[in-house]
Structure 1
Amino acid sequence: MKDKYKLYGFNNLTKSLSFNIYDVCYAKSNREQWDYIAYIDEQYNSERLTNILLKVTDMIGANVLNISKQDYDPQGASVTLLIAEESMVPFKDGETVVAHLDKSHVTVHTYPEYHPDNSIATFRVDIDVATCGEITPLSTLDFLINSFDSDIITMDYHVRGFTRDIAGKKIFIDHHISSIQDYIDDEILQKYDAIDINMYQSNIFHTKMLIKELDLQNYLFKTDVYELPPKERLLISDNLRKEMIEIFSGTNVY
Structure 2
Amino acid sequence: MNLTPEQRIELHGFNNLTKTLSFNMYDICFTKTKEEREAYIEYIDEEYSAERLTKILKSVADIIGAHVLNISQQDYVPQGASVTMLVSEGPVVEVPTESFNESPGPLPESVVMQLDKSHITVHTYPEFHPSEGISTFRADIDVSTCGEISPLKALNFLIHSFDTDIMTIDYRVRGFTRDKNGHKLFIDHNISSIQNYIPDEIKNEFDMIDVNIYQSNIFHTKCRIRYFDLNNYLFGYTKDKLKPHELEEITERLTTEMDEIFYGTNIK
- Whether TM exceeds 0.5 here: the answer is yes
Give the CA deviation at 1:104.
2.1
Task: Give the match for residue 31 of structure 1.
Answer: 35
Residues 85 and 117 of structure 1, relative CA distance in 2, 3 Å threshold: same
Q: Does 1:7 align with 2:21?
A: no
The equivalent residue for 1:96 is: none
> Which runs of 5 or more residues in structure 1 are unaligned?
89-99
Match of 1:186 among 197, 200, 203: 200
Q: Which residue of 2 aligns with 1:196?
A: 210
- Matched residue SS, 1:156: strand
**How far 1:2 moved relative to its partner?**
5.5
> How large is the Cα RMSD of the aligned pairs?
1.6
Q: Aligned partners of 2:115 and 2:195: how far apart in 1?
A: 30
Stretches of 4+ aligned residues off by more than 3 angstroms? none
1:119 to 114, 133, 136: 133
Partner residue, 1:19: 23
CA contact (8 A) 1:87 1:101 kept: no
Q: Kindly tell me the number of residue pairs found equivalent between the two proteins.
A: 243
1:161 equivalent to 2:175? Answer: yes
Deviations 1:70-126 (A, max 9, x none): 0001100000100000589xxxxxxxxxxx975120000000001122201000000
Q: Tell me how far 1:133 sits from its aligned partner.
A: 0.9
Secondary structure at the counterpart of residue 5 of structure 2 = coil
Query: 231-240 or 16-25, which moves further after superposition?
Result: 231-240
Match of 2:42, SS state, is helix
Structure 2: tracts of 5 or more residues without a match: 93-113
Alpha-carbon deviations, 1:114-164, whole Å to 9, x = none?
112220100000000000011111011111111111101001100011111
Cα pair 2:60 2:154 within 8 Å, conserved: yes
Aligned 8 A contact 1:18 1:156 in 2: yes
Partner of 1:48: 52
> Is 1:64 matched up with 2:68?
yes
Instruction: Give the match for residue 152 of structure 2.
Output: 138
Give the Å deviation of 1:231.
Answer: 2.0
Contact 2:123 2:141 in 1 (8 A): yes
Contact 2:64 2:115 (C-alpha < 8 Å) held by counterparts: no
TM-score, length of structure 1 as denominator length: 0.92
Q: 1:133 and 1:194 mapped to 2: Cα distance?
A: 29
Could you tell me which amino acid in structure 1 is paired with residue 255 of structure 2? R
